[in-house]
A and B are shown apart, each in its own frame.
Chain A
Amino acid sequence: MFCPKLLDLQSYLDGELSPRHQRAIEKHLKQCSHCRAQVDLWHNSVQLMQRLIPPVEVPRVPSIAKRWAYSGQKRVIAAVAVLIISVGLSAFWMFNGLNYQENSQDPRETELMNEYLILHMEESRTHGGSNV
């Protein structure tokens, strides 16, 4: 008598075989006490394991729901923060850019301009004086 492979016996126990194959092994088990003992042993182990599942209390759902809601709030807060920072940075760059433009004149040019203004004022004062 040829015995089925152990993995096939296991598949039989787990109901994973085709109906034809399942029937063939069933037939074999009726004649072979060795294979029957093996299948019984596995069957008892599985039952024992299922009986020994530790009883534990399942945590409540609200904690997860709260976390999810909190993460939504966090996303809104992050978006607002990004907006504020972008506006702030833009304002800062604009302000600095203007200052830069004001400060970017050549000092010598400014000096010449000042000298020109002084001369112009003196000249206009002189001409203005003569007019009076």
Chain B
Amino acid sequence: MVEPLSTDMIEKAKRGDPRAIEELVARFQKPLFYYAVHYTGNPSEAEDITQEVLFKIIRALPSFKGQASISTWMYRIMTNACIDFKRKKVLSKTVSFNSGMDEEAFVYDPADTQPLPDEQYEKLELHDWLRRALQQLSPEHRTTIILHDLHGFKYQEIAEITGSSLGTVKSRLFYARQMLRKILEPSINRGDF
């Protein structure tokens, strides 16, 4: 979890104080970047998204009303940006697949929850393996499990970030853990970890 910023600092950043903005960017850039990496599974894409999002956040700062915490507000912008990015990527790949130009266009499918074949696990590094496992979850389940288990948000905060009810957050987290466990199971049983 990111240390909260003081109200004074947030007010200064809202008024466009360069030092306050710099402090805000320095404080949130790392966690937001990691969140994008966990979501997209691709550091280079995550870097682009983080830059866009930080830029968007700085521009939108004057409109931040303080109803939610600044951290929740920023993660909401980042979550929407990640979902949009993936959606556009899938759409563009589907279009290129339909046009018959790109044979690999249909390889990636975030909705595909089928586990990877056993022989593929052995070839993958453990980090890469988790990255691929996360990519097999739906955007909603992925967002929830990343925010909770990797970024330490509470249920209520996740509900605010994702615009869902508390009950939905609980059940999404439950199913995400179950699914991830299912994907991880063969390797756990083989003693890979």
Interface residues of A (CB under 8 A from B): 6-7, 10-11, 14, 16, 41-42, 45-46, 48-59, 61, 63-65, 67-68, 71
Contact = CB atoms under 8 A, between A and B. Distances in A.
Nearest to B53: A64
From A7, A16, A58, residue with most partner B Cβ within 10 Å: A58
A58 B30 contact: yes
List the 5 shortest-distance A-B pairs measured between CB atoms, nearest first.
A52-B130, A54-B127, A56-B43, A59-B47, A58-B30
A88 to B, nearest CB: 30
15 contacts: A6-B174, A7-B170, A11-B170, A16-B155, A48-B193, A49-B130, A49-B150, A50-B150, A53-B127, A56-B34, A56-B43, A59-B50, A61-B29, A64-B29, A65-B22
Interface in B42-90: 43, 46-47, 50-51, 54-55, 58
Given A54-B127, A63-B51, A67-B51, A10 B181 contact: no
Interface residues of B, number: 40
A52 B126 contact: yes
B102 interface: no
B180 A49 contact: yes
A55 B33 CA distance: 12
Contacts of A56: 33-34, 37, 43, 46
A41 B181 contact: yes
Contacts of A59: 29, 33, 47, 50-51
B128 interface: yes
B126 A14 contact: no
Given A59-B50, A65-B25, A68-B58, A54 B181 contact: no
B58 A45 contact: no
B122 interface: no
B33 A46 contact: no
Contacts of B150: 49-50, 53
